[in-house]
Amino acid sequence: MTVSQEKKKGQSLHLESLTWGDLTWVNIEQPTERETGYLAQNYPFHPLDLDDCLSLRQRPKLDVYKDYLFFIFPFSVWDKMTRVSRHDQVSVFVGEKYLITVHSGQLRTLVALFHQCQIDEEVCQQNLGSGSGYLLYRILDRTVDSYFPILNSILAWIEEVEDRVFDENVEAVKEVAVLRRDIVTQRRILHSLRVVTAELESKSKRFCKIDISVQFGDLMDHLNKICDSLDEAREVVEIFKDTDYILSTDRLNRIIRVLTIFGSILLPFLMVSSIYGMNIPLPGGPEQGSLLGFLILMAIMLLASGSMLYFFRRRHWT
pLDDT, position 56: 75
| One domain, residues 318 and 172 | no
| One domain, residues 232 and 304 | no
- Checking if the pLDDT of 235 tops 50, the result is yes
| One domain, residues 198 and 296 | no
Q: What CATH number should be reported for the domain holding residue 104?
A: 3.30.460.20
Mean pLDDT of 133-148: 91
- Checking if the pLDDT of 94 tops 90, the result is yes
- Mark which of 197, 229, 249 sits at the end of a domain: 249
| One domain, residues 241 and 301 | no
Percent residues over pLDDT 70 in the chain: 86
Give the residue with greater pLDDT, 274 vs 121.
121
Mean pLDDT of 23-29: 92
The verdict on residue 261 lying in a domain is no
| One domain, residues 207 and 60 | yes
- b/e per residue, 256-285, with b = 16+ CB within 10 A? eeeeeeeeeeeeeeeeeeeeeeeeeebeee
| One domain, residues 197 and 97 | yes
- Checking if the pLDDT of 290 tops 80, the result is no
Write down the pTM of the prediction: 0.75
- Total tally of structural domains belonging to the chain: 2
- Checking if the pLDDT of 147 tops 80, the result is yes
Mean pLDDT of 142-152: 89
The verdict on residue 264 lying in a domain is no
| One domain, residues 14 and 57 | yes
Virtual CA dihedral for 243, 244, 250, 256, nearest 10 degrees?
-160
DSSP-derived letter for residue 316 is T
Mean of pLDDT over the chain: 82
Q: Give the domain range for residue 298.
A: 278-318
Closest Cα to residue 43, out of 98, 103, 114, 90?
98
- Checking if the pLDDT of 82 tops 80, the result is no
Per the CB < 8 A criterion, the answer to whether 279 and 293 are in contact is no
The verdict on residue 262 lying in a domain is no
Per the CB < 8 A criterion, the answer to whether 133 and 171 are in contact is no
| One domain, residues 19 and 120 | yes
The verdict on residue 16 lying in a domain is yes
Q: What letter represents residue 318's amino acid?
A: T
Which residues touch 236 (CB under 8 Å, ≥6 apart)?
A: 158
| One domain, residues 242 and 298 | no
Q: What letter represents residue 13's amino acid?
A: L
